[in-house]
Amino acid sequence: MFRSLVPLCALAASAVSLCSCNPWDGEEQLGLRHQFRTITTGGDGYATARLPREEFSFTKFLLAARATDGEHTVYVDRVLDEEGTPLRRFLSDLEVNEWRTGAVADQALNHLNWPISDAEPEIRGEEIRVMLGAVDASRNLAPSVQLRLDVLQSDDSNFTSGTLGVNLIFAGDIADDDEMVDAFEEAGERLRAIFDPIELEIELSTSTWPEGTLPRPGFGAPQTWTDLTESTDNLAIDVVVVYEIAGASSDILGAAGSIPGGLLSSEKSGIILSATANAGPDLRFSDPEIDLLAATLGHELGHMVGLFHPVELSYDRWDALEDTPRCTSASTCQNLLGSNLMYPAALCSVNGCLTQHDITPNQASLIHRYTGVY
Amino acid sequence: MRTVLRSSPLAKGLLALLALAASSVAFAQGPSMQERVDGVLSEREDPGCDKLFALGARGLVRDALIAAVQTELPPWAPLRAASCLTELAVHDEQAWETVQDLLQRPDQPGFVLAILDRAHALPVERAELVAQHSLERAQQVRALQRTVPTRLKASPYPSVRALAPDGKAVGNGD
Check pLDDT > 50 for residue B10. no
Q: Which residues neighbour A178 within 8 Å (Cβ) at sequence distance 6 or greater?
A: none
Number of CB atoms found within 10 A of residue A323's CB: 11
CB contact under 8 A, B113 and A244: yes
Cβ contacts of A173 on chain B, cutoff 8 Å:
142, 145-146, 169
Torsion, Cα A336 A339 A342 A347, to 10 degrees, reads 100
User: H or E element: which one contains A62?
Assistant: strand A60-67
pLDDT at B29: 66
Domain limits, chain A: 25-154
Q: Tell me phi and psi for residue A329, to 5 degrees.
A: -145, 160
Question: Which of B72, B111, B147 is facing A244, going by the closest CB pair?
Answer: B147
Kindly provide the ipTM of the predicted complex, given to two decimals: 0.90
Q: Tell me phi and psi for residue B160, to 5 degrees.
A: -75, -45
Cβ contacts of A174 on chain B, cutoff 8 Å:
143
Question: Given pLDDT bands bounded at 50, 70 and 90, which one contains residue B28?
Answer: low
Q: Do A143 and A48 touch, CB atoms closer than 8 A? A: no
| pLDDT (average), residues A308-337 | 97
Tell me the residues of B at the A interface, defined by beta carbons under 8 Å apart: 31, 39, 42-47, 69, 71-80, 82-83, 102, 105, 107-111, 113-114, 116-117, 141-143, 145-147, 150-151, 169
CB contact under 8 A, A278 and B83: no
Q: Which residues pair with A277 in a beta bridge?
A: none
Pick the closest to residue A198 from A23, A346, A86, A361 (CA basis).
A361
Q: Which of A177, A241, A251 to mutate to test the interface with B (most CBs of B within 10 A)?
A: A251
Cα angle, residue A144 at apex, residues A138 and A148 outer, rounded to 5° = 95
Q: Which CATH number applies to A25-154? A: 2.60.120.380
Question: Which of A276, A313, A330 is facing B110, going by the closest CB pair?
Answer: A276
Rounded CA gap, B115 and B107, in Å?
Answer: 16
Classify residue B20 as exposed, middle or buried by CB count within 10 Å of its CB (0-12, 13-18, 19+): exposed
Full-model pTM = 0.90
Distance from CA of A82 to the nearest CA of B (A): 40
Q: Do A248 and A219 touch, CB atoms closer than 8 A? A: yes
Question: Given pLDDT bands bounded at 50, 70 and 90, which one contains residue B6?
Answer: very low
pLDDT at A21: 54
CB contact under 8 A, A288 and B73: yes
pLDDT per position as a tens digit, B137-169? 999 999 999 899 999 999 999 999 999 987 556
Question: Which of B76, B143, B145 is facing A251, going by the closest CB pair?
Answer: B76
Check pLDDT > 80 for residue A30. yes
Q: Do B134 and B151 touch, CB atoms closer than 8 A? A: yes
* A372 DSSP assignment: T
CB contact under 8 A, B82 and A281: yes
Cα angle, residue A184 at apex, residues A180 and A187 outer, rounded to 5° = 140
Rounded CA gap, A187 and A334, in Å?
Answer: 24
Cβ contacts of B143 on chain A, cutoff 8 Å:
174, 177, 180, 243, 275-276, 283
Question: Which of A243, A253, A313 is facing B143, going by the closest CB pair?
Answer: A243
Q: Helix B93-103 crosses helix B110-117 at what angle (to 10 degrees)?
A: 140
Residue B159 CA: distances (Å) to CA of A281, B123, B127, B134: 27, 12, 9, 14
Q: Which residues neighbour A209 within 8 Å (Cβ) at sequence distance 6 or greater?
A: A169, A170, A171, A172, A175, A228, A231, A240
pLDDT per position as a tens digit, B76-133? 999 999 999 999 999 999 999 999 999 999 999 999 999 999 999 999 999 999 999 9
pLDDT at A309: 98
Q: Tell me phi and psi for residue A16, to 5 degrees.
A: -60, -45
pLDDT at A22: 57
Question: Given pLDDT bands bounded at 50, 70 and 90, which one contains residue A23?
Answer: confident
pLDDT at A7: 33
Check pLDDT > 60 for residue A152. yes
Check pLDDT > 70 for residue A16. no
| pLDDT (average), residues B30-52 | 95
CB contact under 8 A, A280 and B78: yes
pLDDT at A55: 87
Rounded CA gap, A296 and A272, in Å?
Answer: 11
Q: Do A38 and A148 touch, CB atoms closer than 8 A? A: yes
Domain limits, chain B: 104-174
Check pLDDT > 60 for residue B24. no
Rounded CA gap, A73 and A110, in Å?
Answer: 8
Rounded CA gap, B152 and B158, in Å?
Answer: 10
Cβ contacts of A251 on chain B, cutoff 8 Å:
46, 76, 79-80, 83, 114, 117
Rounded CA gap, A318 and A348, in Å?
Answer: 23
Q: Which residues neighbour B68 within 8 Å (Cβ) at sequence distance 6 or greater?
A: B34, B37, B38, B41, B77, B78, B81
| pLDDT (average), residues A100-119 | 97
Number of CB atoms found within 10 A of residue A227's CB: 14
3-state secondary structure chain B: CHHHHHHCHHHHHHHHHHHHHHHHHHHHHCCCHHHHHHHHHCECCCCCHHHHHCCCCHHHHHHHHHHHCCCCCCCHHHHHHHHHHHHHCCCCHHHHHHHHHHHCCCCCCHHHHHHHHCHHHCCHHHHHHHHHHHHHHHCCCHHHCCHHHHHHHCCCCHHHHCCCCCCCCCCCCC
CB contact under 8 A, A282 and B107: yes
- What is the share, in percent, of chain A residues with pLDDT greater than 90? 88
Q: Helix B76-88 crosses helix B110-117 at what angle (to 10 degrees)?
A: 40
* A199 DSSP assignment: T
Check pLDDT > 60 for residue A81. yes
Check pLDDT > 60 for residue A178. yes
pLDDT at A318: 98
Q: Do A76 and A104 touch, CB atoms closer than 8 A? A: yes
Rounded CA gap, A165 and A202, in Å?
Answer: 6
Number of CB atoms found within 10 A of residue B58's CB: 13
Cβ contacts of B43 on chain A, cutoff 8 Å:
313, 344-345
Buried-state track B31-55, b at ≥16 Cβ within 10 A, e below 16: eeeeebbbbbbbbbebbbbeebbee
